[in-house]
Structure 1
Amino acid sequence: MTDQTPVALPRINEPAPNFTAPTTHGERSLSDYHGKWLVLFSHPADFTPVCTTEFIGFAKAQDRFAELNTELLGLSIDSHYAHIAWVRAIKEKFDVDINFPIIADLSMQVAKAYGMIQPGASDTAAVRATFIIDPEGVLRAMVYYPMSNGRSIDEFVRLVEALQTSDANKVATPEGWKPGDKVIVPPPATAEAAERRSSEGYDTVDWYFSTREL
């Protein structure tokens, strides 16, 4: 019988669960990433085809993340020996270097703290979970994928860009937003402010929906 115990999930806009764990680049802690954005992502297992495509995708996008002051940190419930062997195999077979660390979470402590273990999928393997953590260690976004389907790495680059834009400009971003697109102005909070909105110079469709260029 499958364990139906609810999975405890971290919560957006609260401190991300702290951790210290062995990785392919030595021990890493959440505090090591203070002052940087962090994309922490789990995969079900080393030496599996979908996970291999995702790691190649993250590796190819690493420079784009670096331009956004963002580090990458992978995780699975495999040993660091398996991680090292897999990284070497990716280099040999696909000619792609994996230059970011991978947590060896054999104890499942990090995976459980972040809700990466989903009993409906597996009790012993992490699902494809992705967490974006800001420079203050606050969890800003989390996305879960099933084991059978790979993630879009471009979407996580876009999401980091969107989060940073919202923080810097106190705005929201619409569906599919990319740098250079208009952003959404926060809606008025009072009837008086709503009355003024159409004269404030924004591209206003209705009192609650206004956009502007950055």
Structure 2
Amino acid sequence: MTLQLGQLAPDFEQESTHGKIRFHEWLGNSWCVLFSHPKDFTPVCTTELGEVARLRKQWEARNVKVIGLSVDPVESHQEWESDIEATQGHAVNFPMLADADQKVSQLYNMIHPECDPTVTVRSVFVIDPARRIRLSITYPPSTGRNFSEILRSIDSLQLTDKYGVSTPVNWTEGNEVIISPKLTEDAAKAKFPQGFRTLRPYLRLVRLGD
């Protein structure tokens, strides 16, 4: 069954390069990016894992833990890590699940048989500290992910949770956001005393301060 936004992310226990992980326990009070790659020692995945390692401070600044997955064993992951560091310039600094029995892959519907029945597609799940799935993206094996977009999406999720707003097309941090149409004009003025722009009664834009 396909996992849907807002659902509780399934818990699991699985081996990893950092030892056995009990997912919900490991998550603690953090956000999480759980992402799968089709196979070890493959070119696209090598670039992706290097990029995720490079972004370590960006994840930490957002209280995000990252965890990778493929259906290869721990020993394969560990051997591959030296290639990733040598070619990408960044050592892998996060756990990689060794889902050899496909337990997690099946739980999260990461194997799409009509694409390839033997490997995982490039799934991405953003999970909040309440263990709820907040975003999911599925890429084909041939297409590398844009982790800048994943960071942007997390920024949006965290900001909209905090202020009860929405983010418009191509939003990035610091840009105007959208006031909920559910707020009356008086309520909007009280909530956003700095003022806002009204393009239509249902489209009001405000720039949030620090």
Query: Which residue number in structure 2 is paired with residue 139 of structure 1?
Result: 133
For 2:85, what is the secondary structure of its paired residue? helix
1:48 pairs with 2:49: no
Match of 2:105 among 98, 105, 111: 111
CA RMSD of aligned residues (A): 1.4
Match of 1:63 among 52, 57, 61: 57
Partners of 2:100 and 2:182 lie apart in 1 by 50
| Aligned amino acid, residue 18 of structure 2 | H
Post-superposition shift, 1:57?
Answer: 1.1
Query: Which residue number in structure 1 is paired with residue 2 of structure 2?
Result: 9
Aligned residues: 201
Partners of 1:93 and 1:209 lie apart in 2 by 47
Query: Which residue number in structure 2 is paired with residue 166 of structure 1?
Result: 160
1:88 pairs with 2:53: no
1:22 pairs with 2:15: yes
For 1:143, what is the secondary structure of its paired residue? strand
Partners of 1:208 and 1:95 lie apart in 2 by 48
In structure 2, runs of 5+ residues without a counterpart are 190-194
Note if contact 2:50-2:89 (Cα within 8 Å) is conserved in structure 1. Answer: no
Partners of 1:26 and 1:11 lie apart in 2 by 29
Instruction: Give the TM-score taking structure 2 as reference length.
Output: 0.91
| Aligned amino acid, residue 108 of structure 1 | Q
Partners of 2:158 and 2:151 lie apart in 1 by 11
Partners of 2:127 and 2:70 lie apart in 1 by 18
Query: Which residue number in structure 2 is paired with residue 4 of structure 1?
Result: none
Post-superposition shift, 1:56?
Answer: 1.1
Instruction: Tell me: CA distance 1:202–1:21, structure 2 relative to 1, closer, same or farther (3 Å).
Output: same
Post-superposition shift, 1:179?
Answer: 1.1
For 2:47, what is the secondary structure of its paired residue? helix
Match of 2:148 among 150, 154, 173: 154
Worse-matched range after superposition: 72-81 or 169-178: 169-178
Query: Which residue number in structure 2 is paired with residue 213 of structure 1?
Result: 207
Instruction: Give the TM-score taking structure 1 as reference length.
Output: 0.90
Identity %: 35
Partners of 2:22 and 2:153 lie apart in 1 by 23
Note if contact 1:43-1:126 (Cα within 8 Å) is conserved in structure 2. Answer: yes
Query: Which residue number in structure 1 is paired with residue 121 of structure 2?
Result: 127
Return structure 1 stretches of 4+ with deviation > 4 angstroms: none
